[in-house]
Structure 1
């Protein structure tokens, strides 16, 4: 994956091996700050001709720790969005997040616009990592039918965090909390609707699939190492073969999607991305099943990094909407000829 990925693996080696202890993981923000200090958050932009390099880095962080990846992916996604929309709202460096979930029961309203500045009121749900980061890009509403992207400082008066609803064991340390805004200040980023209409929206969705893939490869490597060192076991070998086949297909799909995006950087990538997300999700589910059946309980109980990935990945991959996403893929395919199925 190149020098950049090797650099982050070396920088985060101690963090990856840390023991699991109850309570909050105070080292998570420190690890993310280390990435910023060493410039490991400066990735090629999607569609820049190096999309695969970007995804390789996301996969590397995903293979190390998914709680860290959640912060890292949100931060690097925010940097890409700000670049794409030609906006730099704050001069001071910090860790960014992107929160665009819009459940019916939680909506932030923008009012009193003065230039690019607005006042924010309401509740934003599913704010992952809010307890560890400094700034966020959030979607808000101001009367139109398209959301407005707004940059906010999280340490300002009028922003409060409510973490009571977060009861997860997997992905526990990057709690997806509720944020309450009470006359807080935000800076508009781009025009209304720009967040969803820009090419990078779907391109970023494929980057998430690369992170799923990276976490699955880490679990697979544990099985591969065990088979190299363990006694002969044809059943475990069969599991390893199934894992290899699943990962090989997913990797080919990711490389093909990255190549397509780089060849069509301004085009709508939804079909290509929906396909690759479905492919990678199915592969990850196969890897989790076969690795667990082959290795038994030992790594779940004795290997801290494996144990974290094993409990975090099933939660993290639910960023996919399962059959709903497959239905959307099918609906897209109805308007396309099936020539892509030809060899």
Structure 2
């Protein structure tokens, strides 16, 4: 069997077999299989194959959103280190990127010897904290600048704080808060470089690809339903609306990937903000129309459908809704770029 065939078989198996039982252990095993098989060696954004990268993220998302949360984080970490430290070696194992910065949970550098630092504080929203080997996390240095730091998570002073994930959606991602008590780490790049590099917004487009892939998987159930003799015209109308939404999102994904590859050193903030906003609209349309067309049956009797339908609204909230739209609007108002011209 070809490498792509093996990958397709693995994802098909994941879609048919929920990872909700012993989720941490199951996700760890799946990530190890994907890493060991070389499936996480995705093209780096902005080097001519960005759309290929996004297609893989969408494919994994269509099988299981909890898995793609860790898969995307691992592949993002590899891309970040390839961009910031192109000649450096990345430690073996599974990686995550923890960059949430709520005011109540921050990690600070309290001591340093060159690139080696010691960290103190609490990090929130750490997806895969119980199963990952390494993490890239944003910290604050002595001058209150954002500094990216690589941390070995097997240190005994890395403490997992289980405050109890209450949501059913994305519940198997093993997302916890993490307490760092004089934990050793290594600075990756210069202060501020994590946010200022071109790959920051290029990577943000990958999240939209994940949303899109899950929406396509849900839409597939509606398309299959419309091939059955017992379907009605209302289902076909819902499928028409879903098709229009997804085709528009797909066109924007392709266009944005091309823009990134043609402008690899430019900031992709404006095109990626537009992309995420457009894909979010499409995903919400899919959730609405698929649910109305198919009723309660797949939510209650199809494990893959039910997991996606529960996980996707939670994962979609990685968008900041009107806050992101306001940022997009301000950028459009201040920009000479006119994306409305045909």
- Using the size of structure 1 for normalisation, the TM-score is 0.95
Post-superposition offset of 1:137: 0.2
Unmatched 5+ stretches in structure 1: none
Aligned residue for 1:341?
340
Deviation per CA, 1:47-92, whole angstroms, max 9, x where unpaired? 0000000000000001010000000000000000000011687764
- Tell me if the contact between 1:45 and 1:51 (Cα under 8 Å) persists in the aligned partners: yes
Report the Cα offset of residue 27 of structure 1. Answer: 1.6
Equivalent position of 2:47 in the other structure: 48
Query: Aligned residue for 1:295?
Result: 294
In structure 1, the partner of 2:201 is 202
Segment drifting more, 39-48 vs 109-118 = 109-118
1:262-301 map, 5 Å: 262-301=261-300
Conserved 8 A contact 2:225-2:231 = no
1:336 Cα deviation (Å)? 2.4
**Structure 2 contact 43–50 (Cα < 8 Å) conserved:** yes
Cα offset for 1:16? 1.6
TM-superposition CA deviations, 1:140-197 (whole Å, max 9, x none) = 1122242100000111121010112422210001132110011110011000111000
Name the structure 1 match of 2:147.
148
How much does 1:20 deviate? Answer: 6.8
CA distance in 1, matches of 2:3, 2:220: 20
| 1:324 and 2:323 matched | yes
Asked if the contact 1:12–1:31 (Cα under 8 Å) also holds between the matched residues in 2, the reply is: no
Counterpart of 2:100 in structure 1 is 101
Q: CA deviation at 1:10?
A: 1.3
| 2:19 and 2:26 in contact (8 A); partners too | no
Specify every segment of 5 or more residues in structure 2 that has no aligned partner in the other structure, as ranges.
none
Separation of aligned partners in 2, 1:93 and 1:225:
41
Aligned equivalent of 1:163: 162
Quote the Cα distance in structure 2 between the aligned partners of 1:20 and 1:74: 18
1:61 to 2:60 alignment:
yes
Instruction: From the superposition, tell whether residues 186 and 321 of structure 1 become closer, same or farther in structure 2 (CA, over 3 Å).
Output: same
Cα distance, 1:128 vs structure 2: 0.9
2:250 is aligned with 1:261:
no
Specify the alignment match of 1:28 in structure 2: 27
1:182 aligns with 2:181: yes
Note if contact 2:19-2:27 (Cα within 8 Å) is conserved in structure 1: no
Stretch moving more, 199-208 or 24-33: 24-33
Give the CA RMSD over aligned residues: 1.7
1:132, distance to aligned residue in structure 2 (A): 1.4
SS of corresponding position for 2:194: helix
Distance of 2:4 and 2:240 partners within structure 1: 26
Q: Is the 8 A contact 1:9 1:64 kept in 2?
A: no
Change (3 A) 1:6 1:59: farther
CA 1:341–1:62 in structure 2 vs 1: closer, same or farther (change >3 Å)?
A: same
Match in the other structure for 1:223: 222
Query: Closer, same or farther in 2 for the Cα pair 1:181/1:21, shift >3 Å?
Result: closer
The 1:110/1:117 distance shift into structure 2, 3 A limit, reads same
Match of 1:213 in 2: 212
Maintained 8 Å contact 2:135/2:151: yes
Query: Does the aligned pair in 2 maintain the 1:69–1:211 contact within 8 Å?
Result: yes
Tell me if structure 2 keeps the 8 A contact 1:239–1:291: yes
Distance 1:333 1:113 in 2: 41
Aligned equivalents of 1:22 and 1:120: distance in 2?
34
Rounded Cα–Cα distance in structure 2 between residues aligned with 1:52 and 1:4? 19
1:111 is matched with which residue? 110
**Aligned pairs, how many?**
341
